[in-house]
Structure 1
Amino acid sequence: MELKRANDAEIGKKGRFVRQNNQFIATFGQEEGQLPVEANKYRLLWAPVCPWAHRAVIVRSVLGLDKVISLGTADPIRPKLDHIDWAFTLDENDVDPVLGIHYIGEAYLNADPTYDKRPTVPALVDIETKKVVENDYHNLTYYFERDWKELHKAGAPDLFPEELEEEIRELNDIIFHDINNGVYKAGFARSQEAYEEAYNAVFDRLDWLEERLSQQRYLHGNQLTDSDVRLYTTLARFDVAYYGAFHVNKRRLIDYPNLWAYARDLYQTPGFGDTTDFDGIKKHYFLSTHIDTTEEKIKILPKGPDTSIWLEPSGRAEKFHN
């Protein structure tokens, strides 16, 4: 089988974007069929442009797992191939220095020679076998937060506390459908109806979150959690990419006083801003996205917006000081 070609759009009924399912969804543990939790066994492959991958990298950094899980970084510009892939053209000789592969798709084919979907990030690869063993972005941060706890750094925050698990999962599901994937459903829609449906859902939910964050520093009170990581990765891309490239242009992030201050608060938290690549994000969404209704159109990289304003004080810690 061959990897998915660039014109194989994930489009369902009435022009709606339908994201492909993940194939490698093993859990971690000591039972048969589970993946062992072991330092220096895995390499996390990502592209800084991808919000699903970015949240895994944020959690890896915040929890100190960057000391035990190495990181391979793909170019924000997709390679010119007859299928969709991610390339290691940022590395010497265009090869990942640990896995010795040119493209992330190679690790997928190592794991399953019949794999014919898009190679996605994040992808957790067994370094010894060079095979993808996990690409379930829905659950990967939960695994890092709960199953990898024995390898967390001293003093690491509990991003997935048991007493908040039900609330976190419920809110994360809402954020995924209306915000994280909602902007894609708008941007990749192939009908006016599908686009407007997604557009309305995005801004209805942003309004709802704006009100929620007027009352508390984070999404679950004054405690940083997995939900904040998931919302942040979309907010960080909103004004620099989604607003223009995906036509979600009713309002910008900076037009929401609470959401904008909240996003800056997170950006200035170690693990968030230092893993956010605004330049790479813009390059990908304006020059290299894989679903486009006009394949041959001239693509222009916007100069703005000014991202230095992300360093302006948010005032959130002082406002919600206990």
Structure 2
Amino acid sequence: MRAAYASAFDADNPLAALTVGERPEPVHPADDWVTVQVRSSSLNHHDLWSLRGVGLAGDRLPMILGCDAAGIDPDGNEVVVYPLIADPGDPRGISILSEHFPGTFAERVAVPRENLVPKPADLSFTDAACLPTAWLTAWRMLTTKGRLDSADAVLVQGAGGGVATAAVVLAVASGKRVYATSRDAAKRERIAALGATALEPGARLPERVDVVIETVGAATFDHSLKSAAPMARIVVSGATAGHEPKVNLRRVFAMQLEILGTSMGTPDELRDLMAFCAERKVRPVVDAVYPFSEVAQAFARLHSGEVFGKVVLDHTA
């Protein structure tokens, strides 16, 4: 079957480590595994990190990339693949598809049957394939960790990337006042079109917020602390611009702030996210859709840093 996979590692030029070609059919490590016919998948920065050799061991090469997918199960049902797999061989007890088990950038992918979540009929395969990693992470940050129901205002740092843009859309759809920062003027314009107040990084907010969505790290963390209202939740799921920020602990305890780490979400949270999107007519922000035959161009688009939203692969084209 045709697939896109890491055949080597290249820290400086990850695109050079990407290979597109034939790979063996999926295997089932246990009886409860099934094969899904992939209709759509979406790219994440995790895929670029894998090509750099981060999070993927050399003894697992070649490895089919991809965490996210929507497709058809063996019974003909339309499903979304939940990408976290129970993995006793990983110190975390779990691994994400494309780390220990082949990923979704292929005609078919094998996963445990319990990892299949029914796709709402109102969501296209393109939209559904955007949800399991970036959008699920944003949903968990806002709801489970950020307790969005008790919030009035939200700050999203570094909007434009997959998680941050998802957080903007979901918070706006939840009826909250949303502020979002970006260094890029064009991205700020697009953020504003989504219903948020777009600001330059470090800009003073007109109010302090109850929830901060933090995926940037050291470059924005002081601003996140200063923008937080008393008893606010600062939820962290990434550190693209430094993972060792200086933290004013006096502000943390004086304002009774909560700094919460999170990653991904649960199958039940994915179901809740898809139900929310279907009910509220929320759709993922899609930067571009490429036919699978142009997967290399899709990776180049993601690597360019110009992406706003998700890059999706159409496996039927």
Normalised by the length of structure 1, the TM-score is 0.30
Q: From the two aligned structures, give the one with the greater helix fraction.
A: 1
Of Structure 1 and Structure 2, the greater strand share is in 2
Q: Does 1 or 2 have the higher relative contact order (CA < 8 Å, sep 6+)? A: 1
